[in-house]
Amino acid sequence: MSQRENPFASPDGAKPTCLEMLQVILDGDASKVQQEYFASHMEECMPCYKNHQLDMQIRALIKSKCCGGNVPADLIDKIKSQVNSVS
């Protein structure tokens, strides 16, 4: 890795593990600087690259298979009429 300061390091300077960095990325909590750092880190770290690929693939599968489709139309009508009756 280059001499760049690790933006994932904790305030006391403790160096994060690869898995800790990956988790921040996956959880959507990474800053732009962290994202860029991790992208360049993956170019040099095969386990991180593979784990990231795997996790992104799982996420894509969840998004495509677990979205459940639209709510039944009669439910929207029922809710609207109940709300109108109490308003």
Partner 1 sequence: MEETPRAKYTEREKLDVFNNEFLPHINSMYNFGYRLTLDEDDAKDLVQDTYLKSYRFIESFQKGTNAKAWLFRILKNSFINDYRKKSKEPSKVDYQEVESYYNSDEVDRQITTDLRVESLQDMIGDEISNALNALDVDFRTVIILCDLEGFKYDEMAKILDIPIGTVRSRLHRARNLLKEKLSEYAKKMGYKNS
Residues forming the site for partner 1 (CB under 8 A): 19, 23, 26-29, 47, 50-51, 53-55, 57-59, 61-63, 65-72, 75-76, 78-80, 82-83, 86-87
What crossing angle do the helices spanning 18-26 and 32-42 adopt, rounded to 10°?
A: 130
* Rounded CA separation 21/62 (Å): 22
Q: What are phi and psi of 16, to 5 degrees?
A: -80, 155
Smallest distance from partner 1 to CB 62, Å: 5
* Rounded CA separation 14/73 (Å): 53
Smallest distance from partner 1 to CB 3, Å: 28
**Identity of the residue, 33 or 60, whose beta carbon is nearer to partner 1 in the bound complex:** 60
Nearby residues of 19 by Cβ (< 8 Å), 6 or more positions away: 51
**Identity of the residue, 3 or 27, whose beta carbon is nearer to partner 1 in the bound complex:** 27
**Identity of the residue, 3 or 11, whose beta carbon is nearer to partner 1 in the bound complex:** 11
